[in-house]
Structure 1
Amino acid sequence: MSESLSQQVAPEQAVPEQAMPHTAASLAADLRALGLAAGDTVMVHSALRSLGFVAGSAHAVVLALLEVLGPDGTLVVPTHTAYNSDPAGWRNPPVPETWWPVIRQENPGFDPVLSPSRWVGALPEAVRTWPGALRSGHPQVSVAALGGRAAEIAGVHPVEDELGDGSPLGAVYRLGGKVLLLGCGHGNNTSLHLSECRQEQPKMDANGAAMRDPDGRARWVTWTAPATDSGDFEELGAAYDAVGPVSVGKVGNATARLMPQRDLVDFGTVWIREHRR
């Protein structure tokens, strides 16, 4: 390897203080010790840097998860595309109002195969592009699923029921799936949005995004859906951790939490009703 090339290897990853690199095999052992098992359906949220140095990076983490889940298990990750949204609502940063019509008209549109996920980490992108992975068709909050129940989870994703019972989150709920927080907190716990959608009179938001039709043409679509607000998810999650069946342990260097999604969502539904104003 040339000196110039060697300097480009993992430039963002400082070598952490650990005895040896983590591997797909060692991570699989950690996941089993945490309680993940063959045949499970699991929604994973992750911050890969928290794992420490992993030989093979995200590729090895996917291999570890698939090794534990086995052929009958299913790995689910968020592959959200928040950049495909109405520019009228952009704040970080905002864009000039004169740009809005151009952005809406010229956006190439969400394509389950081509549109990259963003702001959800490296692991979802690895799963999204994995052979055999299925991605749901929502233009903003899609998921990718890999394994035995992938079609049940990602096969149907109504635009207007983006995070509700008709979404992949609802499918994971019906299948008795689990949630794995791998080095991240409940602020990233997408399943809690299902608890928001189950409120009796949720606040509704107007949404817009570009969709790409099979013929390659893009079109702008609008819909209304329950508003989402993860601002109190850490507080909600801490309350759940105190009473719920949560398994906490180390996966690599990361603190990981594994919990039954159904129990979490039911708890969150009540908590939001009683605490959110």
Structure 2
Amino acid sequence: MRTREQLVNDLRQLGVNAGDLVMVHASLRAIGPVEGGVGGVLDSLDAAVGPDGTLIPWNDYYGPGSPLEHAWRSGVRVLRLGADLNTVTLLHLAEYLVELPSKRRVRRYVRVLGPHGPEERTVDCLDDEFGIVDTQGEDYFGLLLRDYLARGTARTGRVGHAVSELLDGADVLSFGVQWMAEHLG
């Protein structure tokens, strides 16, 4: 069983620093047993970025003006802890930024807090469930990330038992836009 201190050390060796802005994608099963369970993992992540850092949870809204765009412009780093290759939420912003002849859109219904309590709103957005274009075979996020990681620019190591990567948000986003233009257009 890993201690919180051991996980913080693993995160430091991977390159996570105090003050970092980090979006986390994690498989708790891949990390393995940790003292304190899920809370121990969260405590370790929080300790690694410190009081001046920020952990960013996944967010539903990806487009221009979104919290995701703000995070990218603020220097976000993407921390993958044993997560599947198709799990880099920041790449949904690349789908908005890439110039393609057409992109699949969907209509979603979301509940938001309005001036008089919860309300349902209709949102027209890119299809984040089946992709913005039809493709054959594997999910294109997985293919894209495999190509990105093959470049060797990500920091790699282990956090607990999990094979882990630390990605520069701006770099992976730029790569994602270019990759999508070349492979999906």
Instruction: Tell me if both proteins adopt one fold, taking TM over 0.5 as the criterion.
Output: yes
- For 2:182, the equivalent position in structure 1 comes to 274
TM-score when normalising by structure 1: 0.60
Task: List aligned pairs for 1:73-152, cutoff 5 A.
Answer: 73-78=53-58, 141=60
Measure how far apart 1:199 and its partner are: 2.0
- For 2:49, the equivalent position in structure 1 comes to 69
Measure how far apart 1:226 and its partner are: 2.2
Look up the SS of the partner of 2:173 in the other structure: helix
The answer to whether the aligner puts 1:206 opposite 2:111 as a matched pair is: no
Higher strand fraction (1 or 2): 2
Change (3 A) 1:172 1:237: same
The answer to whether the aligner puts 1:48 opposite 2:63 as a matched pair is: no
The answer to whether the aligner puts 1:226 opposite 2:126 as a matched pair is: yes
- For 1:256, the equivalent position in structure 2 comes to 164
Measure how far apart 1:214 and its partner are: 5.0
1 CA distance for matches of 2:179 and 2:64? 18
Query: Comparing 174-183 with 225-234, which one deviates more in the overlay?
Result: 225-234
1 CA distance for matches of 2:154 and 2:70? 21
Q: Could you tell me whether the CA contact under 8 Å between 2:110 and 2:123 is conserved in 1? A: no
1 CA distance for matches of 2:53 and 2:175? 25
> Aligned to 2:89, which of 163, 174, 190?
190
Look up the SS of the partner of 1:187 in the other structure: coil
Measure how far apart 1:244 and its partner are: 4.9
2 CA distance for matches of 1:195 and 1:165? 10
Deviations 1:219-261 (A, max 9, x none): 2211212222292111000110011520111100111110101
RMSD over aligned CA atoms reads 1.7
TM-score when normalising by structure 2: 0.88
Measure how far apart 1:263 and its partner are: 0.4
Q: Percent identity?
A: 36
Deviations 1:118-159 (A, max 9, x none): xxxxxxxxxxxxxxxxxxxxxxx1xxxxxxxxxxxxxxxxxx
Q: Could you tell me whether the CA contact under 8 Å between 1:244 and 1:264 is conserved in 2? A: no
Change (3 A) 1:244 1:265: farther
Measure how far apart 1:43 and its partner are: 0.3
Deviations 1:45-73 (A, max 9, x none): 11111111111011111111111111111
Task: List aligned pairs for 1:33-44, cutoff 5 A.
Answer: 33-44=13-24
Change (3 A) 1:195 1:55: same
Alignment gaps of 5+ in structure 2: 133-138
Tell me which structure has the larger Cα radius of gyration. 1
- For 2:74, the equivalent position in structure 1 comes to 175
Q: Could you tell me whether the CA contact under 8 Å between 2:72 and 2:170 is conserved in 1? A: yes
- For 1:166, the equivalent position in structure 2 comes to 65
Larger relative contact order (Cα-Cα within 8 Å, sequence gap ≥ 6): 2
2 CA distance for matches of 1:209 and 1:30? 38
Deviations 1:68-93 (A, max 9, x none): 11111111121x6xxxxxxxxxxxxx
